Structure 1
Amino acid sequence: MKITTIGLGYIGLPTSIMFATSNHQVLGVDANANVIDTLNNGYIHIEEEGLQKLYNNALKAQNFKASLTPDYSDAFIIAVPTPNNDDAQKSCDLSYVKSAVRSILPYLQAGNLVIIESTIAPRTTEDVISPMIEATGFTIGEDIYLAHCPERVLPGNIAYELVHNPRIIGGVTEACTKAVKELYLTLVKGELIESSASEAELSKLMENTFRDVNIALANELAKIGTDLNINALKVIEMANRHPRVNLHAPGPGVGGHCLAVDPYFVAAASPHLSPLIQTARKINTSMPAFVVNSVERLMASAPNKKITVFGLTYKGNIDDTRESPAKEISLMLQHAGFDVTEYDPHANKNEIMIEQACEDSSLLLVLTDHSEFTTIPETATDRMSRAHILDTKMIVKNCGDNVKLLNLGNMHQSLNKIVQEV
């Protein structure tokens, strides 16, 4: 089958490559000429485990090519970004999706599949995209088969999860669901779940909203523990030994294009009925300020104002900095007058050495759980003016005997000591 994918980012590119390795002829389309040039020169432009090797296989089989413009195909997959609108509810910005749909309209033919993989607000496929296609003279469910098929993948393991995770096939009509399901059967080994388009849209959003709400509970607990001089991490560890409790871990905030974005789409769709979701978002977006306030207090007695930030991406072992609380915290500290050195072996390819990053620093602030941060070498901490580490991701396991290791559970001890000294 000939497939055209619109959008070659963190989802569109892996999806294209996986279909290409399943013997489909895939045309990948992106508006960024640098992305197209990089791909046509044989290299992928994102960091994702094992993806370059799979891309090499797709090129060897002559099953993939990249272009700035679409072409006639059997199926069209829309995988473009859906950021927040700049409004009070941070609703879903559909401008990229609409533009992508408009770009394929001249190439649509009877019998084509149109699949929206972009994360979108509830009822978008039925109320927005379907009318755009039918305005050209086609009938959805008879001439064109339209469905929303949201991805459910973990960055760093995308290639595996695109194949093995369950997948929702949300057709506008039953005929749409059946037709699109046939395509995904050629790739997906996990369960294919049939639904309506709107059910699929809301399901995807609620999967991420569930996680966001539970992280908010853990983050609120971390704040409470700091206020009451109680180790919140120990509390979570003990509470999770209850057979029906699974508290999440607190952190410096929530990032990425899923958890930090999707809950707003639900809340914006029904703002008067979503107070819990909106409150959770406020708690999680407040965490960077909480971390910065804690750092300011920890630095009150420091020998200098230098801080080394470890990690700029929103999660570990990837290069994606979208909506990253780590970047926000780093900027807030700089604006507060601190001398900040950033160290991230994934986000910054031309990175300074770890020892250089820690030179004369009074605090090493860990904001991302890269595996490289599990062990902090003594050659780095020995160069610090004050060997203190605040690990907001609980990733550091080894850092030397002379280092003071703090986290979101035990930092209240140092904060209270500073208050007493003052």
Structure 2
Amino acid sequence: MKITVVGLGYIGLPTAILFAKYGNTVAGVDLSPVMTANLNAGRIHIEEPGLTEDLQEALALGKFHASTTPVSADAYIIAVPTPNKDDQHKSCDTTYVASALTNIIPLLKKNDTIIIESTIAPRTMADVVQPMIEKAGFTVGEDIYLAHCPERVLPGNIMHELVHNPRIIGGITEKCTEKAAAVYGEFVEGEIIKAQAGEAELSKLMENTYRDVNIALANELAKISNHLGIDALRVIEMANKHPRVNLHQPGPGVGGHCLAVDPYFVIAAAPEQSPLMQTAREVNNSMPEYVVSQVKALMEERDGNRVTIFGLTYKGNIDDIRESPAMEIRDMLVETGLDVKTFDPHVASEVLTGEEACADSSLIVVLSDHSEFREIPATYTDQMRDPIIFDTKNTVKSVASDVTYLNYGNLHQAPKVAVTA
């Protein structure tokens, strides 16, 4: 099968490489000529275990080639970004999806399949994608087959989960669903869940909204517990002993191109029917400011002015800083006048070592749960003016004996009681 994948980011590139690895002829398309040249030379631009090896295997097989323009294929997969619009409810911007469709429409022939992997708002397939194809003179479900097949993978384990996770296939018609299912049948070993397009759209959005709402509950609990002088982490641990309770963990906020973005697509589609989702977004969006308020309070009794941030990515062991609350916190701390140093071994632009970032610092603020941060060596904290750690991810497990370690469990016991944002 000939497959063209438009958009070679965190989802599109692994998807394209897997199709090629399983024997399909794949054209990967992206606007960046530097990126496509690097891919053709076997070099990837994202951090994902196993991806480089699979790319090089696909290249050796002669099954993958990247370019800046699409080529004719039997199936087209669109995996381009869908950011929020700058409107009242931060609705879904389908500009990149529409642009990708515009570029492949001249290549379409009868019996081709078009699959939208990009996360989209409810009714995007029916109200945006289908009209564009029909305007080009095709009958959807007879000439061209359309489906929405959202990804549901965990960064850091994408190559495994793309193969083994259940896959939702939401076609405009039943025949569209069958055609798209046949495409993914090339490599997916997980359950193929056949659905209508609108069901697939909303299902993906609700998966991430569920997590966003539950994280908001944990974040609100952290604020409440700190105010009342109670260990929030101990409360969560005990509550989760109940067989039907699964409280999430609090953190510095919610980031990435899923949880921080997708709930707005549902909110914008039905604002009067989504007050809970809107409140959850407000709670999670408030967390960077809350963290900054705690940092300012902790620094009030320090002689120094330097704060060291550990981690800029939105989650651990990846290089993705999209919508990362850590980036927002860094910028807010700089605006307060603090001298901010950063250390992140997963972000290429960060060049300081742990020792360099900690030199003369009065506080380490852990904002990403990288495995490298589970043990903070004495060689880091020995460089500090005041060896204090505020761990917003509850990821640190070992520190030197002279270090004051704080998290959402004991923040109320800090040398200076933190303020309430």
Shorter-chain TM range is over 0.9
Q: Give, in whole Å, the separation in 1 of the partners of 2:88 and 2:254.
A: 19
Q: Gapped runs of 5+ residues in structure 1? A: none
Amino acid at match of 2:273: L
Partner of 2:337: 337
Partner of 1:53: 53
Q: Give, in whole Å, the separation in 1 of the partners of 2:110 and 2:46.
A: 35
Q: Give, in whole Å, the separation in 2 of the partners of 1:294 and 1:348.
A: 28
Shift of 1:348: 2.8
Partner of 2:288: 288
Shift of 1:418: 7.3
Q: Gapped runs of 5+ residues in structure 2? A: none
Partner of 1:211: 211
Partner of 1:178: 178
Partner of 1:188: 188
Change (3 A) 1:281 1:415: farther
Partner of 2:242: 242
Matched-pair contact (CA < 8 Å) for 2:294–2:418: no
Partner of 1:279: 279
Tell me if 1:354 matches 2:388: no
Amino acid at match of 1:272: E
Q: Give, in whole Å, the separation in 2 of the partners of 1:319 and 1:418.
A: 31
**Secondary structure of the corresponding residue to residue 301 of structure 1:** coil
Matched-pair contact (CA < 8 Å) for 2:40–2:59: no
**Secondary structure of the corresponding residue to residue 365 of structure 2:** strand
Shift of 1:349: 5.1
Amino acid at match of 1:86: D
Tell me if 1:40 matches 2:44: no
Matched-pair contact (CA < 8 Å) for 2:267–2:278: yes
Tell me if 1:119 matches 2:119: yes
Tell me if 1:87 matches 2:78: no
Partner of 1:378: 378
Q: Give, in whole Å, the separation in 1 of the partners of 2:348 and 2:167.
A: 34
Q: TM-score, normalised by structure 2?
A: 0.98
**Secondary structure of the corresponding residue to residue 59 of structure 1:** helix
Change (3 A) 1:306 1:138: same
Matched-pair contact (CA < 8 Å) for 2:412–2:418: no
Partner of 2:146: 146
**Secondary structure of the corresponding residue to residue 127 of structure 2:** helix
Tell me if 1:78 matches 2:78: yes
Shift of 1:417: 4.7
Q: Give, in whole Å, the separation in 2 of the partners of 1:365 and 1:181.
A: 46
Change (3 A) 1:418 1:266: closer
Q: Give, in whole Å, the separation in 1 of the partners of 2:103 and 2:373.
A: 44
Amino acid at match of 2:240: N
Matched-pair contact (CA < 8 Å) for 1:375–1:399: yes
Matched-pair contact (CA < 8 Å) for 2:307–2:363: yes
**Secondary structure of the corresponding residue to residue 375 of structure 1:** coil
Q: Give, in whole Å, the separation in 2 of the partners of 1:319 and 1:50.
A: 15
Amino acid at match of 1:284: N
Q: Give, in whole Å, the separation in 1 of the partners of 2:106 and 2:148.
A: 21
Matched-pair contact (CA < 8 Å) for 2:297–2:416: no
**1:316-350, CA deviations, whole angstroms, 9 ceiling, x for partnerless residues?**
00000000000000000000000000110111356
Change (3 A) 1:75 1:162: same
Q: TM-score, normalised by structure 1?
A: 0.98
Ranges of 4+ aligned residues in structure 1 off by more than 3 Å: 415-419
Shift of 1:186: 1.3
Matched-pair contact (CA < 8 Å) for 2:362–2:386: yes
Matched-pair contact (CA < 8 Å) for 1:297–1:415: no
Q: CA RMSD in A?
A: 1.0
Q: Give, in whole Å, the separation in 2 of the partners of 1:27 and 1:177.
A: 23
Q: Give, in whole Å, the separation in 2 of the partners of 1:396 and 1:269.
A: 40
Matched-pair contact (CA < 8 Å) for 2:4–2:71: yes
